[in-house]
Amino acid sequence: MKKCFDAEKYLKIQKKKIRGRIRMFDKLYIEFGGKLIDDQHAARTLPGFLPDLKIRLLQEFKDDAEIILCINANAIEKSKIRADHMISYETEVIRLIEFLRAKNLYVSSVVITLFDGQKKAKDFANKLKDYKVKVYFHSFTKGYPTDVDTIVSDAGYGANPYVKTTKPLVIVSAPGPCSGKLATSLSQLYHESKRGVKAGYAKFETFPVWSLPLKHPVNIAYEAATADLGDINMIDHFHLEKYGVTAVNYNRDLETFPVLKEILTRITGKTVYYSPTDMGVNVIGECITDDKAIRRASKNEIIRRYYRALTDLKKGVVGPEVPERIKLLMNELDISEAERTVVNYAEEKRQSSNNLPSACIEIGKKHIAGRKTGYLSPISSTILNALKALNRIPDEVDLIAPAVLEPILEIKNKTSNFKEPYLKLGEVLIALSICSTTNPVVKKLLDNLDKLKDSELHATHMISDDEMIILSNLGINATCGTEIDID
């Protein structure tokens, strides 16, 4: 895939932008929206934007920064799941702690927000003791969102304990949306003010990109990605009125800005920001090198989001309004699901295979298909066929002999309550790894797994969550139909 975003330029000017904001205050709290790690949406819509680019950015500040992670107590109580990794928010917090520490980034504390005595939240706090991280409990802010006198008082933000920080830059992040990052940041500003510290607030949001047009596909792709949250991009009328400059923001920030501006003014004693755009520090728009390619990549992402919404609807994860909303966005850009050509190839494979569940992967201009077999899931079959094609191995060659696959499948079904008639992708990759110890051809094949990165795949049936996660980890952009494979 052609790179159309300059990651190195981004790191250079983004670092300068943040340092400039830090100099305005004794201490700066930056609320980091979106995914702190594994930002695959940004990587797909802005080819060249690396999934770990935010971590590389934070490493530029490692001596001056610390990280606070926020998690909503209600999300813990309800065992809320991150759809991209199919892990709970608690597990994601622990994953973040371990990952960030491995990158020599200092995670100082975890704030459990909206705490009202929830047992699971208490249990999680106890579990965090093993990770030697300080845990704080914050409750609902009294008076929020309309009674500013109460909010900015000892009965409001002052009722929350002060989260002890020691660095001039504090990153406030979370495992997902609605985790209380803003409330935590503002509570900290209140306490810092009481301590005589001139603290400031800024917001790091990757999307929407404020300097791109409102209806630019990059910004529309953000709406598609947050269709379940109801986010709508809008012109920042505060910014337009103050500066005469058109900027793009989204409805929630625009709706809450008047109250947020008043709160910040009360705490700091002066008006620093005149618009939501003023608060932002992201410079993505300055680093796009090929707008035409970015538009094309973003349109593809919107179509993928539509397919994902349809499967989420089938699972009961979202309501019908979510795919309907994305379909309207597609209509705005005059695109349709028919433009995802790999879908047609997958359907052709199913029709030529007696209607067996099938899949197809698109690598460059090549289309390689597979179907459900006696031992392999359609995804397993397709990936094996793709690896053979990439390594010029004849199609009739079995990479894993049936004599190996059969006992694996047998023991799998003996030890599982849910019987499956085939081996899924994760199991097949493990079998390949075992075979690679004695077969140099298989070893070479596994060494070339990265050649699947940035490819497109579609399955005619619903892909299981575990297979979808593996495909994502391999860098494969996968979609699927809504039919359930019942053998």
Helix axis angle, 181-194 to 251-268, nearest 10°: 10
Return the closest-CA partner of residue 381 out of 430, 444, 443, 423. Answer: 423
- CATH topology identical between 7-211+246-287 and 349-483: no
Q: From CA 454, how far away is CA 435, in angstroms rounded? A: 26
What count of other Cβ atoms lies within 10 Å of the Cβ of residue 161?
12
User: Is domain 349-483 in CATH 1.10.3720.10, yes or no?
Assistant: no
What number is the average pLDDT over the span 216-221? 98
Q: At 67, is the pLDDT very low, low, confident or very high (cuts 50, 70, 90)?
A: very high
Q: From CA 273, how far away is CA 249, in angstroms rounded? A: 14
The pTM is what? 0.91
Assess whether pLDDT exceeds 60 at residue 349.
Answer: yes
What are the boundaries of each domain within the chain? 7-211+246-287, 349-483
CA atoms within 13 A on the CB side of 366: 13
pLDDT at 434: 87
pLDDT at 417: 66
Q: Tens digit of pLDDT for each residue in 370-417?
A: 999 888 899 999 999 999 999 888 887 777 777 777 777 777 766 666
Q: At 1, is the pLDDT very low, low, confident or very high (cuts 50, 70, 90)?
A: low
Kindly list the strands in the beta sheet with 477-483, ordered across the sheet, starting from the edge strand earlier in the chain.
366-371, 358-363, 456-461, 477-483
Residues 246, 235: contact at Cβ < 8 Å? yes
Q: From CA 408, how far away is CA 399, in angstroms rounded? A: 15
Higher pLDDT, 421 or 133: 133
Q: At 170, is the pLDDT very low, low, confident or very high (cuts 50, 70, 90)?
A: very high
Q: Tens digit of pLDDT for each residue in 288-336?
A: 999 999 999 999 999 999 999 999 999 998 999 999 999 999 999 999 9
CATH class of 7-211+246-287: alpha beta
Q: Tens digit of pLDDT for each residue in 421-467?
A: 788 899 889 888 888 888 888 888 888 899 999 999 999 999 999 99
Q: Tens digit of pLDDT for each residue in 220-239?
A: 999 999 999 899 999 999 99
pLDDT at 444: 86
